[in-house]
Amino acid sequence: MARVSKKVSAAQREAENTPHRIWKTAIYARLSDFDDVLRDTESLEVQISYIKEYINHRDDLILLDVFADKRCTGMNFDRPEFERLLKALQERKTDCIVVKDFSRLGRNFVETGQYLEQVFPLFGVRFIAINDNYDSLSRQSRDGMLVPIKSMINEMYSKDLSQKIQSCFRSKEARGEIYTPVPFGYKKDQKNHLVLDEEVSDVVVRIFLWKKSGMKEREIAKKLSAQGIPTPFTRRCQLGYMRNTSRVKDPTWQPAFVTKVLENPVYTGTMVYNRIAYDETYRKIGQNSREDWRMVPDSHPAIISWELFDEVSALREAEQAVKEERKKWCRQRRKNNPNIFKGRIFCKECGEKLVCHWQSDDSLYFYCKFCHVSISEKDLWNGIHQELHQRLEEHKNLKKLIQKNSGKSVLETQKVALNRKIEQLSGSIVRLESQKRSSYEQYVLGKISKEKFLELKQGLENEITTLRQTKAEKEKELAVVQEELQQKKQIAGSTEVLLTADNLQQYVKKIEVDRRKITYTEFLL
């Protein structure tokens, strides 16, 4: 018989030779989506209870922690609790792992084998699979063929199970059954078909009509909360679809709840499947296009029409396009105009740092997250310069310097104002371009006539042209001001003490702002 060669790490040999050792034990349990669908008995509670019973009958094991991954596939190891377990191994907080069987660790033949034969032995970790009668501390278990054979079987089982699950889903889809959480506004009958939830179905109509009228998701959520409408989760608990109702702590509508209602075509009376895109490990990666949807029309009572759904969807897409353009522009603006006050501006009331934020009119302001303290960038600069002049008046030897550079101070003010104006014009152009695209979408969807569209288009193009001309003029003015500043800088040399955006951090140590928007500046002069 050929000799079987097996490398064993020094940590593993030490573990084997340690007499009467007490192992710091961790339980690992896992439950996949497949287990949920098939009503498997492998619940996390059952697994953990079973393993605890095993540990309690062992004198060499002491339980220190439990790691449980729910709704995680066994085909990869990208699991939050398993990553936490690996961290515990690295920090030497545990040196023994117990599972119910190999399949709970993983169903991927290659990766599971790597952990059992390389990773765990490297850290001197003992691994026990109860139902498979496997203990890595036993040489017989480690040298046998059980591990590779079981891993191959588990992987084959997982792939076969996946096919069966998909077949099961297709059968349910053909019958128009619901196998996902019941949408807000509906209940399900004994055959898993959707029926109207008379108590809240009218709320769905209101949400769509409010959105059509131009309300934002946040405004709708606030209005629903004020009216005492139960949230989707709360309603599912009321209907008995949720077993664990302890999560119902804050029955407040969130914008995300409203979004979930607005983007679900189920309210048209059509059961839609394959809306969500998954990768090969069944993790959500986004939404499929409408062409990839599997639809069963007239499978249940409709709450809204397809026309209303499409109209609201087009409106939301236009809003999203504007948001993306806005985000892109703001990112570029922050890149070109970094926060020069970062780390230096504080709340006078509580001592916390103020946070900067761009307002809708493209101006910058600072606010305290804890107090009602805020100040605009313009008022902040005015306050600092006023304090600076007062400080210089107190120091006769510096008074001449500020007088010497007064001309430059005016130019710096002009520079700041021109930069701000150019940024405002750029933002206005971006918004008008988005409005132009939105009007075209409305025309395509038949919401406005061709004449109205052409009228809107011409008006927006005229505004954009005017703004671009104004922007070009301001850019020319800015170039002139920058040239004059450069000349004065060359004349002044290195003796100037003028506070600008470039030297702010050189001369200012700390700025405090109170509720009256008054600044208190600590200079380094």
Q: pLDDT tens digits, residue range 404-457?
A: 444 445 677 778 788 888 888 887 888 888 788 777 777 777 778 888 888 888
Report the b/e string of 111-140 with b at 16+ CB within 10 A.
Answer: bbeebbbeebbebbbbbbbbebebbbbeee
Q: List the beta bridge partners of residue 358.
A: 364
Asked if the structure places residue 43 within a domain, the reply is: yes
pLDDT value of residue 370: 80
In a domain, 309, yes or no: no
User: Confidence class of residue 7 from pLDDT cuts 50, 70 and 90?
Assistant: very low
- Residue 314, Cβ density class (10 Å: 0-12 exposed, 13-18 middle, ≥19 buried): middle
Residue 234 reports pLDDT greater than 70: yes
175 or 21, higher pLDDT: 21
Tens-place pLDDT, residues 119-150: 888 888 999 988 888 888 877 655 554 555 55
What are the percentages of helix, strand and coil residues in the chain, rounded to 5?
55, 15, 35
Same domain flag for 264 and 413:
no
Asked, for residue 152, whether it belongs to a domain, the answer is yes
- Residue 336 and residue 299 share a domain: no
Look at residue 315 and tell me if it is in a domain.
no
Same domain, 156 and 199: no
Strands 355-358 and 364-367: antiparallel
Q: Are residues 242 and 134 in the same domain?
A: no
CB-based contact 93:24 (threshold 8 Å) = yes
Percentage of the chain beyond pLDDT 70 is: 71
Last residue of a domain, one of 161, 196, 221: 161
The per-residue pLDDT for 183 is 87
Q: What is the pLDDT of residues 449-492, one digit of tens each?
A: 888 888 888 888 888 888 889 988 988 888 888 877 776 665 44
Predicted local confidence at residue 495, as pLDDT: 39
Facing residues of 284 across strands?
278
- Asked if 501 and 416 touch (Cβ cutoff 8 Å), the reply is yes
Q: Report whether pLDDT(51) > 90.
A: yes
SS3 call for 520: strand
Round to whole Å and give the CA distance between 131 and 100: 6
CA dist 205 and 193 (Å) reads: 21
Torsions phi, psi for 365 (to 5 deg): -140, 165
Mean pLDDT of the chain, nearest integer: 76
Say whether pLDDT at 42 is over 70: no
Looking at the structure, do residues 116 and 215 belong to the same domain, yes or no?
no
Distance from C-alpha of 404 to C-alpha of 408, rounded to nearest angstrom: 9
Same domain, 415 and 378: yes
Same domain, 230 and 156: no
Cα 301 to Cα 70: distance, rounded to the nearest angstrom: 34
Q: Are residues 516 and 369 located together in one domain of the fold?
A: yes
**This prediction's pTM:** 0.43
* Residue 177 covered by a domain: no
pLDDT of residue 2: 38
What's CA 68's distance to the chain center, in Å? 23
Is residue 384 domain-resident? yes
495 and 346 in a common domain? yes
Q: Quick one: pLDDT at residue 338? A: 65
Q: Is there a single domain that holds both residue 52 and residue 113?
A: yes
pLDDT over threshold 90, residue 284: no
Task: Taking each helix axis as running N to C, give the angle between helix 396-404 and helix 377-394, from 0 to 180 degrees, rounded to the nearest 10.
Answer: 130
Q: Which residue has the higher pLDDT, 20 or 47?
A: 47
- Cα–Cα distance for residue pair 299/194, rounded to 1 Å: 8
Tokens of 506: 């050189």
- For the beta carbon of residue 28, count every other beta carbon within 10 angstroms: 23
The pLDDT of 101-113, averaged and rounded, is 76
Identify the H or E element spanning 86. helix 80-90
> Are residues 308 and 212 in contact, defined by beta-carbon separation less than 8 angstroms?
yes
Residue that the structure tokens 């210089």 belong to: 392
Residue 171 has pLDDT above 60, yes or no: no
Domain count, the chain: 3
Q: What are the strands, taking DSSP E only, across 304-431?
A: 345-347, 355-358, 364-367, 374-376
Of 13-17, 254-258, 416-420, minimum mean pLDDT range: 13-17
Predicted local distance difference test score (pLDDT) of residue 9:
53
Q: Is residue 326 part of a domain?
A: no
User: Which residue has tokens 């190891």?
Assistant: 77
- Asked if residue 354 and residue 235 are part of one domain, the reply reads no
Question: Average pLDDT, stretch 12-30?
Answer: 75
**How sure is the predictor about 105, in pLDDT bands with cuts at 50, 70 and 90?**
confident
521 closest CA partner among 414, 391, 425: 391
Q: Which residues contact 128 (CB under 8 A, 6 or more apart)?
A: 96, 97, 98, 99, 134, 135, 136
Residue range of the domain that includes 67? 10-161
Identify residue 418 by its one-letter amino acid code: L
| Residue 72 binned pLDDT confidence (cut-offs 50, 70, 90) | confident
CA distance 82 to 26: 11
Among 197, 290, 305, 175, which residue's Cα sits nearest to residue 241? 197
What pLDDT, in 10s, does the model give residues 241-253? 776 555 555 578 9
Element (H, E) at 126: strand 126-129
Question: How many distinct helices (H) and strands (E) make up the chain?
Answer: 19, 17
- Cα 512 from Cα 102, distance rounded (Å): 61
For 210, 221, 237, the CA distances from 205, given in Å and listed in that order, are 9, 14, 22
Strand order in the sheet with 508-513: 345-347, 508-513, 519-523
Which of 311 and 12 is assigned the larger pLDDT? 311
Residue 355 has pLDDT above 80, yes or no: yes
Mean pLDDT of 372-396: 78
3-state secondary structure of 338: coil
> 212 and 128, same structural domain?
no
**357 within a domain of the structure (yes/no):** yes
SS3 of residue 285 by DSSP: strand
Has residue 300 got a pLDDT over 90?
A: no
> What CATH number is attached to the domain comprising 86?
3.40.50.1390
Return the higher-pLDDT residue of 81 and 452. 81
Residues 120/92, Cβ–Cβ less than 8 Å: no
Whether 26 contacts 85, CB under 8 Å: yes
Separation of alpha carbons 442 and 449, rounded Å? 9
Q: Is a pLDDT exceeding 90 seen at residue 519?
A: no
User: Do residues 364 and 358 touch, judged by C-beta distance below 8 A?
Assistant: yes
